[in-house]
Amino acid sequence: MEFVNKTIVTEFILLGFSGIENQKIHLFVTFLLIYILTVMGNIVIIAIVYSNSHLHTPMYFFLMNLSLLEILYTSNIIPRMLFNIITQNQAISFTWCIIQLYFFGSLGSTECILLGVMAYDRYIAICYPLHYFLLMNNKASLLLSFSSWTVGFIATFGAIILVSQLWFCGPNEIKHFYCDLRPVLQLSCKNPFIMETVSVILASIILLGTCLFTLVSYIHIILTILKIPSFEGRQRAFSTCGAHLTVVIIFYGAMIFMYVTPVSVNSFNLNKVLALLYTVMTPFINPFIYTLRNKEVRQALQKSTLRLKMYLICVK
């Protein structure tokens, strides 16, 4: 990438939450607490799944992957945002902006695919329970997980190469709290139409494709659950899917509106609100959704807590 020859602008200014300077301390404390709780909550899920052998199933393996993904996803955005808020240094170099943009797109694409994989896992478990452990064995789980990460990181690489070749000669103010694709493209001195078209096509394939796959899977799941004769059976089946479906609705709803709708439909202020929804709030609430609404995880958490208390008592 020839940054020197093709880039007049060497850094961007992330306007972020400019205009509400009197609330910056409150914003910093709020986002710092959310980030700490997000990382800790997802680490707890990874630790619980890893340390409890009865949770070594494909569903919880994918959940562990999702928790790791959420840690990386938020760590790509929030620490830099906190730095900008507290230091009022809103500058980010062109290179770091491209890097942040790449990891944001790659991790977002991976999450789309992984949510689709998790929906497929529940589809097999509920619609074809007798074939579940044949179709979703350890080898299949590892392959699906590896494919999600690989495709996610490869899919956005070409688009990032194209973005890095654009000319940026000023202005250099990005109306966002991180380097997002559309605000960056708006600053290009070249006509960004081709790049915007490529990004919409790519987003449509990844977002709409995985969203459609997930929704179709859940339609089959719901139809199958409704055929279960006992109320307890239906409730148990819904409880295993309800948390995942909640995350899917929030995540896909915001992402599709942001990246598939035409540029003219979106406003930067609305985009920032939606971006907070899927970059900050969704990773934050995921651990609570999956622990509070999942009986097996709650039981494993209680056992782990009890073992920790017994260990501390023995140490004393």
What are the structure tokens assigned to 35, written together?
A: 């980030």
Q: Which pLDDT belongs to residue 265?
A: 47
Which has more pLDDT, 296 or 114?
Answer: 114
111 pLDDT above the threshold of 80: yes
Q: List all residues 6 or more positions away from 156 whose beta carbon is below 8 Å from its beta carbon.
A: 102, 105, 106, 109, 202
The span from the CA of 138 to the CA of 62, in Å, is 11
Which DSSP state fits 89? Answer: -
Q: What strands lie across the sheet with 11-14, from one edge to the other?
A: 91-93, 11-14, 173-174
Q: What is the pLDDT of residues 156-189, one digit of tens each?
A: 888 888 888 888 877 888 888 888 888 888 888 8
Q: Which pLDDT belongs to residue 69?
A: 94
Which domain, by its residues, includes 42?
Answer: 3-315
Q: What is the pLDDT of residues 229-258, one digit of tens each?
A: 777 767 766 766 776 777 788 888 878 777
269 pLDDT above the threshold of 70: no
Q: What is the pLDDT of residues 182-197, one digit of tens each?
A: 888 888 887 777 777 7
Sign of CA dihedral 192, 102, 36, 309: positive
Q: What is the pLDDT of residues 212-229, one digit of tens each?
A: 999 899 889 888 888 877
Which DSSP state fits 173? Answer: E
Q: Which pLDDT belongs to residue 78?
A: 92
Which DSSP state fits 206? Answer: I
Q: What is the pLDDT of residues 283-296, one digit of tens each?
A: 888 887 776 667 77
Max distance between CA atoms of the chain, in angstroms, equals 69
Spell out the long-range contacts of 215-220 with Cβ–Cβ below 8 A and sequence spacing 24 or more: 217/116, 217/119, 217/120, 217/122, 217/123, 218/119, 218/122, 218/123, 218/245, 218/248, 220/123, 220/127
The span from the CA of 143 to the CA of 107, in Å, is 18
Number of domains forming the structure of the chain: 1
What CATH number does the domain containing 180 carry?
1.20.1070.10
Residue 98 in contact with residue 87, Cβ under 8 Å?
Answer: no
40 pLDDT above the threshold of 70: yes
Residue 264's pLDDT band, with cuts at 50, 70 and 90, is very low
Residue 313's pLDDT band, with cuts at 50, 70 and 90, is low
The span from the CA of 7 to the CA of 19, in Å, is 29
End-to-end alpha-carbon separation of the chain, Å? Answer: 58
Q: Which pLDDT belongs to residue 4?
A: 44
Please tell me the pTM assigned to this model: 0.85
